[in-house]
Structure 1
Amino acid sequence: MILAIDIGNTNIVIGCIEEQNCLFVERLSTVRTKTELEYAIDIKNVLDIYHIKRADIEGGIISSVVPQITTVAKLAVEKILKKEVLVVGAGIKTGLNIRIDNPAQLGSDLVVDSVAAIAEYPAPLLIFDLGTANTVCVIDKDKHYIGGMIYPGIGVSLDSLTAHASQLGGISLEPPEHIIGKNTVECMKSGTIYSAAAAIDGIIDRMNEELDGRATVIATGGLAKKIVPYCRRKITLDDNLLLKGLAVIYRKNRK
């Protein structure tokens, strides 16, 4: 069993992977001011809730897009496991053939998503990760990472709308009864959810044209569950994609 942790801008996703199975997945808030001990307590509490014994965990691996807390989180996990923890980055074997202008610029979360998708799904692939930012990874038929897309996440777009339109207040991300809203809240909910779904459908169509074929489409990330059901294209929802990718990379680097 391994402990896999993905540090994102909004949430830290924690899970234990045994063979191909995710035993649990939980989310903590990403707090840049927390200390090593505070993160260690948070992670230990999650393990205790699921009755995971430290002795049963053979190692840990971290993916992070928040450099300010990567080392703090690594030390926190090592404090719990008493073992060295891998961090996805320079010097880590991933097996991913990256064919973009500067491979070093590719975020570790995108690398891990791609590794997981290649291991489990047929190429070519489009991988949507819906979080603080929405990202799309494009894998060609030869399983090469050839590029992608980054655009504002649903929460970011909604926050911007409410911040710049004085008569619009905050809303929860839940679907309205009808696509044509009958009041301000319904209109905002409809606009947020259906515009995000339509954007995904449109991106799939355009990327398939450039790939000259129909790609397998995977969606993951904290907000994928709220948007994918309203898309019209065939999309496989995989909440645990990134954690499964961390497990694959851990095995590639196990001594």
Structure 2
Amino acid sequence: MLWAIDIGNTQTNVGVHDGDQWVVSWRHETYAARTEDEIAGMLLPLAELAGLRFSDCSVAVFASVVPPVDTNWQRFCEKYLGVVARFLRNGAQVGMQVTYDPPHAVGADRIANALGALARFEPPIVVVDFGTATTFDCVDATGAYAGGAIMPGIVVSLDSLVGRTAKLPAVALEAPERAVGRNTVESLQSGVVLGYADAIDGLARRIKSELGEYTTILATGGLGRVFVDLCEMIDEHDPVLTLEGLRLAADQLA
């Protein structure tokens, strides 16, 4: 069994692959003070519910943008999974050309997105990853990681708006039936959800005009499912794309 762990600023995504398919994946809050024993206590019941044993793990591969948590995850792998953690750090580790400046500034999750996308589609490709930030990861026609764009994530945007206004309530991230809101909740959902979807489409359209007409645009990340049907420019949603990229990188990180 291969465990792939994508540690983001807000959430950590853990997936288990049995050699043929992704058996299960779990999301939980990223918490820097969580010890290796607390990680085990959190994951053991979930693994047991899925019929998995820690001892079945043969590889654990990571992408992390939160360095303070890495050490405890390494300890968890050694103490409970019985393996040494493998960390994807940059494109050079996996033979991917990176034309970003400087190359090492590209987050490991963004390299994993590019790897996962290239395994499924011919370039050029754009991966829109909906996380704490919404990132656009661009692979050019040669297969090189060419850069992209970074937007404030929709949850960050909504929290900031609600937190700075006295009368606006928190709302569910759901598309309203109409753009013209008939009440405060609908108005917020129109502006936040529909407005954000159009912002994604607008930026994706600009990027596609630079990369080429036959660019494939994928969505991933925790909130990708919300926008795949709202955005005209998104071709497909792949919720395990980052994990798949990590799986493909694992052998080269040994």
Task: Compute the TM-score of the two structures, normalised by the length of structure 2.
Answer: 0.95
SS in 2 for 1:230: coil
2:122 alignment counterpart: 122
Q: Structure 2: which amino acid aligns with 1:60?
A: A
Q: What's the counterpart of residue 27 of structure 2?
A: 27
What per-residue deviation string (whole Å, max 9, x for no partner) do you get for residues 28-62 of structure 1?
A: 11112212211122122222121112333211111
Q: Write out per-residue CA displacement over residues 135-185 of structure 1, whole angstroms, 9 at most, x where no aligned residue.
A: 001111110111110110000110111122222121111222222110011
Task: Tell me if 1:167 matches 2:173.
Answer: no
Supply the AA of the counterpart residue of 1:194: L
1:97 counterpart SS class:
coil
- In structure 2, the residue matched to 1:76 is 76
- Aligned partners of 2:90 and 2:106 also within 8 Å: no
CA distance in 2, matches of 1:90, 1:148: 16
Q: Which amino acid aligns with 2:23?
A: L
- Corresponding residue of 2:15: 15
Distance in 1, matches of 2:212 and 2:35, equals: 49
In structure 2, the residue matched to 1:192 is 192
Specify the alignment match of 1:153 in structure 2: 153
In the TM superposition, structure 1's runs of 4+ consecutive aligned residues that sit over 6 Å from their partners are none
* Whole-angstrom CA distance in 1 between matches of 2:60 and 2:51: 17
In the alignment, is the contact (CA less than 8 A) between 1:57 and 1:81 conserved in 2? yes
Amino acid at match of 1:43: L
TM-aligned CA deviation for residue 119 of structure 1: 1.3
SS in 2 for 1:5: strand
Counterpart Cα distance in 2 of 1:20 and 1:194 = 37
Q: CA RMSD in A?
A: 1.6
Q: Shift of the alpha carbon at 1:92?
A: 7.4
Matched-pair contact (CA < 8 Å) for 1:43–1:77: no
After TM superposition, list the pairs within 5 Å mapping 1:228-243 onto structure 2.
Answer: 228-243=228-243
Corresponding residue of 1:103: 103
Structure 1 unpaired stretches of 5+: none
Q: Using a 3 Å threshold, how does the CA distance of structure 1 residues 229 and 211 change in structure 2: closer, same or farther?
A: same
Conservation of the 8 A alpha-carbon contact between 1:44 and 1:80 = no
Q: Distance in 1 between matches of 2:92 and 2:74?
A: 15
**Deviation of 1:240 (Å):** 0.5
| Corresponding letter in the other structure for 2:139 | I
* Structure-2 residue corresponding to 1:223: 223
1:229, 1:133 → 2: CA distance?
A: 20
* Match runs of 1:41-56 below 5 Å: 41-56=41-56
User: What is the CA–CA distance in structure 1 between the aligned matches of 2:56 and 2:92, rounded to whole Å?
Assistant: 24
> Letter of the aligned partner of 2:40 in structure 1?
A
Q: State the AA in 1 paired with 2:8.
A: G
Deviation at 1:245, TM superposition (A): 0.7
Contact 1:77–1:85 at 8 Å: present in 2 too? yes
Contact 2:176 2:186 in 1 (8 A): yes
Q: Which residue of 1 aligns with 2:211?
A: 211
Structure 1, residues 90-125: CA drift from partner, whole Å, max 9, x if none?
Answer: 697222111111011110110111111111112100
* Counterpart AA for 1:13: N
Q: Percent identity?
A: 33
CA contact (8 A) 1:128 1:218 kept: yes
Distance 1:117 1:18 in 2: 20
